[in-house]
Amino acid sequence: MSTKIDLSLSRPNRIYRPSEPLEGKILVKSASSISHYGIRMAINGSVNLQVRGGSAGVIESFYGVVKPITILSRTLEIRPSGKIVSGTTEIPFSITLRNPKEDNSERFYETFHGTNISIQYLATVDIMRGYLHKSLSATVEFIVESDKADLLNPPISPEMVIFYITQDTQRHPILPELKSGGFRITGRISTQCSMLEPLSGELTVEASVLPICSIDIHLLRVESVLLGEKIITETSLIQTTQIADGDVCRNMTLPIYVVLPRLLTCPTVLAGPFSIEFKVAIVIFFQSELSRLHPKSDPLTPRLWMAMETLPLELVRARFGV
């Protein structure tokens, strides 16, 4: 049996805060005893920025030129040189993410996996075995959330915005029958939402000349990266939640309830080199011959048989519920 190494964190959900120690065990499985020149653990956190060639007018030669932003870089010696006996060996470790001896003004952004921006924290253990043997290494990602002391107090009441969608509010061309016959959809939806709470609201179809095919709620990310003196912004789809299928009854209130995906969302970030913002789009698909011919069209591209309303969405991590 070859020697295997693994990292096991103390928390199954792998969620830690900057003021808390990262704890766990290094598991080494070996058929025979092995010598080593030390066991080290590295903790790294960074904001990885990417600008895809061709997006927003960026030429291909600019691809990948944005340097990552280092949030955290720390190395700790777990054990000095020695031997690891055969069988399974468990080596506990504990390392503080935020160094209390340093200036605590350093910003720990929450973990986020986007299209052009990724905020990631990794723990890597290395067993150094010298020049004649390959070092043993294992890496695990852990999730960082804001310290309790940095959290916002929960809003007294959710910030709800009243919206209405008609043929006159559309900024893109729509079907002639929709333009002449008309439609009206009203409702309200949260524009500030806690990370631990669902995005909520309600919607009512008051009138529509054409039957409705579907009503969807799109959760969008808006990622902006500073490239030289230019800000490159790209909007992409995170998830779609269908709240109605088929032609709904008129004047019936439909609830809006959207659970936020953890790793694909984070509190809204407005930093210097980058920003992470969010939007919510209410999209109505009408039944028509054209929609049947294009069943797999891009959901972000306005079509003749679609009506939509897009609103900014601020995500926050509140003190309540943590």
Q: What is the mean pLDDT of residues 162-176?
A: 94
Q: What is d(CA 172, CA 240) in angstroms, rounded to the nearest whole number?
A: 21
* Segment 55-76, tens digit of pLDDT: 545 544 455 557 899 999 999 9
Q: What is the mean pLDDT of residues 286-312?
A: 82
Q: What is d(CA 63, CA 49) in angstroms, rounded to the nearest whole number?
A: 10
Q: What is d(CA 310, CA 242) in angstroms, rounded to the nearest whole number?
A: 16
For 148, phi then psi, to 5°, come to -60, -35
Q: What is the mean pLDDT of residues 30-56?
A: 84
* Segment 3-17, tens digit of pLDDT: 899 999 999 999 999
> Fold match between 4-148 and 160-316?
yes
Given a cut of 80, whether residue 320 has pLDDT beyond it is no
* Segment 124-139, tens digit of pLDDT: 999 988 777 788 899 9
Fold of 4-148: Immunoglobulin-like (2.60.40)
Fold of 160-316: Immunoglobulin-like (2.60.40)
Q: Enumerate the domain spans of the chain.
A: 4-148, 160-316
- Position 102 scores a pLDDT of 59
For 292, phi then psi, to 5°, come to -70, -30
Q: Say if residues 191 and 161 touch (Cβ distance below 8 Å).
A: yes
Label residue 173 by pLDDT band (50, 70, 90): very high
Q: Say if residues 134 and 69 touch (Cβ distance below 8 Å).
A: no
- Position 67 scores a pLDDT of 85
Q: What is the mean pLDDT of residues 291-307?
A: 78
Q: Mean pLDDT in the chain?
A: 87
Given a cut of 50, whether residue 88 has pLDDT beyond it is yes
- Position 250 scores a pLDDT of 94
Instruction: Determine what percent of the chain is predicted with pLDDT higher than 70.
Output: 87
